Structure 1
Amino acid sequence: MNLEKIKLICFVFNKYFLLKALTSSFTITKKFIFSLFFTLICIVFTLFCSENLQNIASSLGILSFGILHGANDIKILSSKKMKINSLFGVSFLLIYLVVVFSGILLFYFIPGIALLSFVAVSCYHFGEQHWQDKLNDIKRPLPFYITYGSLIFLMLFSFHYSQVEEIIFRISSVHIPYQFFFVSLIITGNIFLGYIFIKLKNIKHILLEIFLLGALAILFYTGSLLFGFGIYFVIWHSLPSLKSQIKYLYPEKEDRPYLKYFKSAFLYWIMALIGLVTMYFFGTLPKDQYLSVFFSFLAAITFPHVIVMGLMFHSPNQNSN
């Protein structure tokens, strides 16, 4: 083990003890603490595991919890709480599939605009999920949601510029210089810090959020592109989203809500997995293009999912349970 790895491991454990000190007199969810500690463990994991092993681990997480968290959109749309009717008698499933395939066509005919739209929508969606129950007193949180999500993406893109630039070029035929990501990261980071110091009242909450961003920055730097994205996507987005959806769909006293959620999502989850596996093993794409297609697939299912989650979070019955 070289000296740099030893120093980084010591740094990670120092962060853990600092985390315990920060949370000793501050009320924060156990889920947040677990997720943050798991992120620190993942940093250590990146120091000893190859990029291939990291990509396998993150792919398993994305294919399981990542896709599963969006597999119950139809049930959420059709729930009695949503209080919306299908258009002209057309099923929610058909409408949902039309939106998905529209996203795929968008990537095929105007990939540059489609990619930009995907990133912008994902920035908002990541910010909404992370902050939706922490900024209840803010009337117009949309700019802040986008700022936070942009900060996450820009950190990841800056640390893996070569690979990200290659993926962007394959999808859109557009070259984006590194300076664009770096300058955007600095500007977005300062906007985010200014916002939380103005809007958040508890200084320890502010420190925890900065602590999290620092841990994510280290993870993105030490891990592969797919691993960094996968850990954030699964641990910090998909699992909290699953919890929010289950709380929305099932009353607190309902028996085995997690199992019921899995059963209702199983068919759509399996269909998505079959589609991806078929593309990988029987498709005619060159191997070096699979990552680009994978992100395009995520984009296609993200567009309708973001709409559904927005409707759920803004439903008057969101907190009725």
Structure 2
Amino acid sequence: MTNSNNIGIVLSFFALWIATYFSVEYQQITGFVIIFLFGILHGANDLRLISKIKNEKSISNYRKILIYYLSFVTTGVILFYLLPELALVIFIIVSAYHFGEQHWNQLSTEKTTTIMSLFQLVYGLFIFALLFFFHQKEVTEIIGEIIHSPINTLHFNYLLWGNGILLAVLSLVMLQKNTIFKNQLPVNLVYLLLFTIIFRNSNLIWAFAIYFIIWHSLPSIKDQICFLYGQYTFLNFVHYFKAAFAYWLLSLTGIALLYLLFRKEALFTALFFSFLAAITFPHVLVIMKMQDRIKEH
């Protein structure tokens, strides 16, 4: 168990303790705020990461990368507008793999294998399934707003049990093939227990914020800083923040406009996750390329 994970456990229980003093409304507001501050920030340096990956530093190449990136985000927005069901499924699958990849990115120093990628995907899907299972009513309302159609809550039960069984099977396979996984499995079972406690005892947005920020965004920011600047220090974090500031502020402005235009709670939450999905699609590809580049060295 690393110091970062020890800190993550402490912060998680602290966030859970704070929630006992917050009403559901304040949990949602606070959850959105920290997602805006850190969750959006962890994807705001994608252009710099792409430039580092491709070793392209010229202004013209940077502009070309920006155009491609914005085109990808726009495509995501259009997809959610025209085919919301398909877009939602793609978003969950892509995000699940992204969560699993970040959580288990130390499984190998070599190129990721097919079985490892499948395990990371199923692990991320299990996290989603666990969250959805404990907040079926809220998730049903949000998904209904996104796809403009009601869904059956039984789907969440099938999703949880199906992914749980598949995760157990893949874990047995990984135990035979990966020594790092074998060493990390006990502590990760503790983490899953922790996530279960958090998801069960927190409002949906607050529960998602705890996992998304403490267990995904902050570790991702640390990895990105190490990739960009060689090591994680406070000074390098400042450099990272300065580089990301303009795109971070632009994203926050977009979300603020969504809130001003659509104050209805369920609709805003649906639009927020749709917006988050649109900027997630290219971000996931960037981080995959970054992890591949790290393993090459």
2:66 aligned partner: 93
Is 1:124 aligned to residue 97 of structure 2?
yes
2:273 aligned partner: 295
2:283 aligned partner: 305
Q: Deviations over 1:261-280 (max 9, x none)?
A: 11100110011111111222
* Distance across 2 between alignment mates of 1:307 and 1:293: 22
Structure with greater proportional helix content: 2
Aligned to 2:54, the other structure's residue is in SS state coil
Aligned to 2:87, the other structure's residue is in SS state helix
Q: CA 1:253/1:199 → structure 2, altered by over 3 Å: closer, same or farther?
A: closer
* Distance across 1 between alignment mates of 2:41 and 2:233: 21
RMSD over equivalenced CA pairs, Å: 2.3
Q: CA 1:246/1:300 → structure 2, altered by over 3 Å: closer, same or farther?
A: same
2:150 aligned partner: 175
* Distance across 1 between alignment mates of 2:232 and 2:250: 31
2:28 aligned partner: 55
1:7 aligned partner: none
TM-score normalised over the length of structure 2: 0.89
Q: CA 1:217/1:255 → structure 2, altered by over 3 Å: closer, same or farther?
A: closer
1:13 aligned partner: none
1:220 aligned partner: 199
Q: Which runs of 5 or more residues in structure 1 are unaligned? A: 1-27
State whether residues 129 and 241 of structure 1, in contact with CA within 8 Å, keep that contact through their aligned partners in structure 2.
Answer: yes
* Distance across 2 between alignment mates of 1:229 and 1:255: 26
Superposition deviation, residue 58 in structure 1: 1.4
Q: Which runs of 5 or more residues in structure 2 are unaligned? A: none
Superposition deviation, residue 287 in structure 1: 4.3
Is 1:273 aligned to residue 224 of structure 2?
no
Q: Deviations over 1:212-243 (max 9, x none)?
A: 11111111111011011111110111001001
* Distance across 1 between alignment mates of 2:230 and 2:164: 39
Percent of aligned positions that are identical? 35
Aligned to 2:129, the other structure's residue is in SS state helix
Aligned to 1:65, the other structure's residue is in SS state helix
Is 1:209 aligned to residue 188 of structure 2?
yes
Q: Deviations over 1:151-204 (max 9, x none)?
A: 000011111111111111111134332222112212211322333344244766
1:3 aligned partner: none
Is 1:145 aligned to residue 156 of structure 2?
no
* Distance across 2 between alignment mates of 1:98 and 1:83: 21
Q: Name the amino acid aligned to 1:82.
A: K
* Distance across 2 between alignment mates of 1:166 and 1:252: 43
Q: Deviations over 1:124-176 (max 9, x none)?
A: 10001110113447622211111000000001111111111111111113433
Superposition deviation, residue 60 in structure 1: 1.8
State whether residues 248 and 319 of structure 1, in contact with CA within 8 Å, keep that contact through their aligned partners in structure 2.
Answer: no
* Distance across 2 between alignment mates of 1:255 and 1:296: 33
* Distance across 2 between alignment mates of 1:116 and 1:110: 10
Which has the greater radius of gyration?
A: 1
**How many equivalent residue pairs?**
289
Aligned to 1:105, the other structure's residue is in SS state helix
